[in-house]
Structure 1
Amino acid sequence: MSDDDNKRKAAELAAQKAAEAAKSTTFDHDSDHDDPDAEVIYRKLDPSSPYFLGSNDHSGNMICTVKLNGENYERWARSMRLSLRGKRKWGFVDGSIRKPVNPIYLVDWDAVQSTLVQWIMNSIEENQKNSIPYFEEAKPLWDLLQRRFTVSNGQRQQELKYELAQCKQTATMSVASYFGKLEKLWDEIDNYNPVPACICGMSEEFQKKKDEAKFHDFLFGINQERYGNLRSQLLAQDPLPTLDWAFKAMNQEEQLQKRNAVVKSDAVDVMTFAVQGTNKELGMRKPHVMGNMVFRSGGEIDPRILMYRVCILSGLYLV
């Protein structure tokens, strides 16, 4: 075999090895492979990639506990944003991750978009789904829901301030339940008035003022009959305690009142049992009462019951 034949065979073998290596190559979405004629290759993605879908990321999952019913858009949108950010998928919804030009990445893009559309639709009440057109990508679907269900800022802020002023703790409402109602209103209000990001220290001062306003909101609506004394004590402190401290104090007072009520109830039960036993022991008919004197039917004072107080209405002997 001539040298030319050997060289030709060596070149063919090298070309074959190069082709096999190219077929097994995996590309990252952040790399610079932008050949529009490249063959679509199914690749194993890194879990840190936003395109990665784990074994638990089924399209039928409910990733948000709040379902959009047409009247709770702000709360629903906030919950969905948190869930999607936790899965590194929010960039596909807000548009910060753009559709790739390279066909190599289109398979992963389509897979993520289909899953996101399903996740969003799964979090919408059935009576609202009928009015939503078909979408293949998440961003136009999200934009439609935002346009359709967002209430104007001014109107919604007025509604929230009114609801906050009317939020009161009822006689049967626990401190935790009352505080939870306030927190939902505060969270939505904070969406319209976020703390400015700066390094000059003004953001800390702004947050401090907001926390102080929440402290007064909490005490303003607290049940005055049950917690009025503690409320006055907290307001008299200088400087004012934090909101968390006020909640802790009110919660402890609630638990103390519950324990005292149980002890009092037990004491009444014991007293009732003792009185019933005393009446049975004496074996007497309902005595005749005149002032603080207790007489038998014959008119004489019963010496055995001088040590007891008698209920004027029931005639029972009280220990």
Structure 2
Amino acid sequence: MALRVKTKLGFIDGSIKRLTSHKADYLNWEKVDSMVMAWIINSTNPSLHRSISNATTGRDVWLDLEERFAQTNAPRIHQLWRSLCLMEQEHDTSMTKFYTKFKTLIDELNEQHPLPECTCRASKELIQREEDHHVHLFLGCLDNERFAHVKATILNTDPLPSLRHTFNFILREEARFTAEKEKNNKVESGSRSIHFALANRKGEMGPT
């Protein structure tokens, strides 16, 4: 990202070719390429510096790191799908925290396995189908006892709301559930206090 912002991505993806020393702009190319190399090296773990510092160009450094650390997407995609399918919200985890974790996995999955580029009329349908999959996955992670009613409402909506709107529906239901639970706890606590006070009063009065 930093290289793209500084319009230097071409030095590592091969689109900016290495110049030979007799070219007029060679010194400028060498200066910028050395700067790119320094950025990459300074961004890596110090334990790698010795093995990559002898490379001659920024692209050589990049290819060396790519060869050592790049891996096929399939294992990671499988791991992401497995994590999503097995996710469940724990009772002590807030909905906001849980959704953030879920959305992080979804975003990485979209990055690892993006939808194919399409300019036909089916592209909108493909995007909607993908969004529906995410909504079903998210709802499947939630506790049926707490969210059965709102889940049924969402699933009976046609078309399904977006993942973001689904989260907002669930968030409101969580707030309602929490408020109701706190109200019941106060009523129960008040009942216990009254019962305790009456018991104490009866004890003070003694047997009749």
1:297 maps to amino acid: G
1:86 maps to amino acid: V
**Separation of aligned partners in 2, 1:136 and 1:254:** 58
**Separation of aligned partners in 2, 1:125 and 1:268:** 57
**Separation of aligned partners in 1, 2:77 and 2:127:** 19
Q: Which has the larger radius of gyration?
A: 1
**Separation of aligned partners in 1, 2:97 and 2:42:** 28
Residues 276, 125 of structure 1: alpha-carbon distance in 2 compared, 3 angstrom cutoff: farther
Once the 2 structures are TM-superposed, how far is the Cα of residue 258 of structure 1 from its aligned partner? 4.1
Once the 2 structures are TM-superposed, how far is the Cα of residue 177 of structure 1 from its aligned partner? 2.2
RMSD: 3.3
Kindly provide the CA deviation profile for residues 227-265 of structure 1, in whole angstroms up to 9, marking residues without a partner as x. Answer: 232122211222211212101112222333444455556
Is 2:179 the partner of 1:297? no
Kindly provide the CA deviation profile for residues 86-133 of structure 1, in whole angstroms up to 9, marking residues without a partner as x. Answer: 33222222111223456543343333333333333343344x536742
**Separation of aligned partners in 1, 2:200 and 2:130:** 69
Greater relative CO, 1 or 2 (CA 8 Å, sep 6+): 2
Question: Percent identity of the aligned residues?
Answer: 25
Once the 2 structures are TM-superposed, how far is the Cα of residue 197 of structure 1 from its aligned partner? 2.5
Gaps of 5+ in 2: none
TM-score (normalizing by structure 2): 0.77
1:89 maps to amino acid: K
1:95–1:139 Cα contact (<8 Å) kept: yes
Residues 275, 132 of structure 1: alpha-carbon distance in 2 compared, 3 angstrom cutoff: farther
Is 2:105 the partner of 1:185? yes
Residues 123, 216 of structure 1: alpha-carbon distance in 2 compared, 3 angstrom cutoff: farther
Is 2:49 the partner of 1:140? no
Equivalent of residue 92 in structure 1, options 11, 21, 25: 11
**Separation of aligned partners in 1, 2:74 and 2:147:** 35
Equivalent of residue 165 in structure 1, options 64, 74, 85: 85
Is 2:160 the partner of 1:243? no
TM-score (normalizing by structure 1): 0.54
Residues 276, 219 of structure 1: alpha-carbon distance in 2 compared, 3 angstrom cutoff: closer
How many residues of Structure 1 are paired with residues of Structure 2 in the alignment? 206
Counterpart position of 2:203? 286
2:132 maps to amino acid: E
Q: Secondary structure at the match of 1:286?
A: helix
1:84 maps to amino acid: L
Kindly provide the CA deviation profile for residues 2-32 of structure 1, in whole angstroms up to 9, marking residues without a partner as x. Answer: xxxxxxxxxxxxxxxxxxxxxxxxxxxxxxx
Gaps of 5+ in 1: 1-81, 288-295, 300-319
**Separation of aligned partners in 2, 1:257 and 1:239:** 26
2:41–2:52 Cα contact (<8 Å) kept: no
Q: Secondary structure at the match of 2:64?
A: helix
Kindly provide the CA deviation profile for residues 53-83 of structure 1, in whole angstroms up to 9, marking residues without a partner as x. Answer: xxxxxxxxxxxxxxxxxxxxxxxxxxxxx34
Residues 107, 255 of structure 1: alpha-carbon distance in 2 compared, 3 angstrom cutoff: farther
1:129 maps to amino acid: L
2:77–2:113 Cα contact (<8 Å) kept: no
Once the 2 structures are TM-superposed, how far is the Cα of residue 214 of structure 1 from its aligned partner? 1.0
2:41–2:49 Cα contact (<8 Å) kept: no
Residues 242, 272 of structure 1: alpha-carbon distance in 2 compared, 3 angstrom cutoff: same
